[in-house]
Amino acid sequence: MLRGENSIGPDEAARVEAAREALLGWYAASARALPWRARGTTAWATWVSEVMLQQTRVETVLPYFARFMERFPTPRHMAEASEAEVLGQWAGIGYYRRARFLHAGAKAVCERHGGEVPRGVEALRALDGVGEYTAGAIASIAFGERAALVDGNVERVLTRVFAIEGDPKSSAVKKHLWALAAGFADHPDAGAVNQSLMELGATVCAPTAPRCLTCPVRSMCRAAQEGEPERYPEKAPRKAPRDEDWTALLGLYQGRALLVQSALGRWEGMLVPVMVPGAVDPASLAGRAGAHAVMDHGVVVHVLTHARMRLRVFSATLDEAPTEGTLVSMDALAGLAVPKVTLRVLSAVRSSGDAAPRRRR
DNA sequence: TAACCGTGGAG
DNA sequence: TCTCCAAGGTT
């Protein structure tokens, strides 16, 4: 049979069914107890957890999730909060656009859906920051809909179990994976099915050194039979982050530091020191900012996914109270929308009071 | 399609 | 120290 756009062959369908049953049994016995899986979890909590978990480890998410649900127990609580506060609560886990999307999504839900998270992949998909994966996750986990999902875990599990060659990012392989996932999700408890696939990928079918000996679907896994499970999924070589030179000038005024809202896509809306690309003369930078007494605090390196930022850090005393930006006390940053790079710069300024850049051996 | 968006933990 | 990469989404 020709494999259509969203269908799988009879052989694969049979294997999907067998794997699903094995996974469900395993999941019922072995699932980690995570807060967003607790009884009484709302669709909103599922949404928040799914967004936080995008490209972010469970252990990292745990404290943030707890804080968010405490502060924003419903979409309305978040919709009524300022973006600055939402970003402040998000500060530290990165990919800050997620927080702005979540805030926008909460507002949209209040305006369009009476404050209730909508059902159905299509309505969910219409929310900012909710893509195919997240829509499928909310629909299946929160509402029990037979919605498929494919994340990095599912991709790994399925490419191994079905020995799927090719770049998993290619549209052909993606279609195949989503078709298989749809087969898995065609079940009365699609939420558990989907979570079992992800849980297996997270705890057993690991990227390296998969624990095949304890795997519930080992007997039906092609990659395990071939003896080289790590061969799947094929991974494209990563590009090295480019090097970027920046000059940061931290304005100081009466013991506090001047931060401004970043206009970069990176950290958009977050509070950062004045930063300009390139190696800029700090004296002229200070002059423009109305500051004097420039001090050199050496170089801070901040590595991101696509760039390695090398920041030459200076501080200077502001002549007058700034009219723009926010003056922050260096030890009262909790709840402020401050990314790690800001903390690094503040730390560099605080720890090197002298003008000479300090070098570690 | 490919580039872009943060951070920290594991090996 | 360094590489990999984690429950992705948008442009």
Domain A10-231: which topology? Answer: Endonuclease III; domain 1 (1.10.340)
Q: What is the pLDDT of residue A357?
A: 41
In this prediction, residues A26-54 reach a mean pLDDT of 97
Residues of A that are catalytic: 50
Condensed to tens digits (0 to 9), the pLDDT of residues A241-286 reads 999 999 999 999 999 999 999 988 889 999 999 999 999 999 999 9
What mean pLDDT value characterizes chain A?
94
* pLDDT band at residue A6 under the 50/70/90 scheme: low
Note the CA–C1' distance, A293 to B10, in angstroms.
44
Asked whether residue A356 carries a pLDDT value surpassing 80, the answer given is no
How many angstroms separate the CA atoms of A42 and A160, rounded? 33
Closest nucleotide (CA of A98 to C1')?
C9
How many angstroms separate the CA atoms of A131 and A134, rounded? 5
Domain boundaries, chain A: 10-231, 242-351
Q: What is the pLDDT of residue A265?
A: 83
In this prediction, residues A352-357 reach a mean pLDDT of 54
Exposed e or buried b per residue across A340-350, where buried means at least 16 C-beta atoms within 10 angstroms of its C-beta: ebbebbbebbe
DSSP state of A46: H
Condensed to tens digits (0 to 9), the pLDDT of residues A159-180 reads 999 999 999 999 999 999 999 9
Cβ-7 Å neighbors of strand C = A 34, 36-37, 49-50, 53-58, 95, 97, 101, 128-135, 137, 151-153, 156, 195, 198-199, 201-202, 207, 235, 238, 305
Q: Please choose, from the candidates A103, A96, A23, the residue with its C-alpha nearest in 3D space to the C-alpha of residue A56.
A: A96
Closest residue to C11 by CA to C1' distance?
A: A265
Domain A242-351 -> CATH class: alpha beta
Note the CA–C1' distance, A60 to B8, in angstroms.
8
